[in-house]
Structure 1
Amino acid sequence: MFFNINILSLMLGFFLLIFYQQYLHKQEIGILLVEH
């Protein structure tokens, strides 16, 4: 049970990390478009 919850939280953290990086990348592109 604990092992399953551990893997689930690990996958959730990994998904959030990817989502956060994608969001920052889009923000960066948005800032570049605004500057130029």
Structure 2
Amino acid sequence: MSSSIPVISSDVAELKDMVKALLLDKKNQSPAPT
């Protein structure tokens, strides 16, 4: 269990980063939703 926690943590961090990048990209491209 102890070894699976850091893996999940890094996964969540990566997901958060991707979501942030996607949101920023959408905002930069156009405010109108698809």
TM-score bin (small chain): 0.7 to 0.9
**TM-score, normalising length: structure 1:** 0.73
Give the unaligned 5+ runs of structure 1. Answer: none
Q: Which has the higher helix share?
A: 1
Give the unaligned 5+ runs of structure 2. Answer: none
Rg larger for:
1
RMSD over aligned CA atoms reads 1.4
**For residues 1-36 of structure 1, what are the structure 2 equivalents within 5 Å?**
1-30=1-30
Identity of aligned residues (%): 16
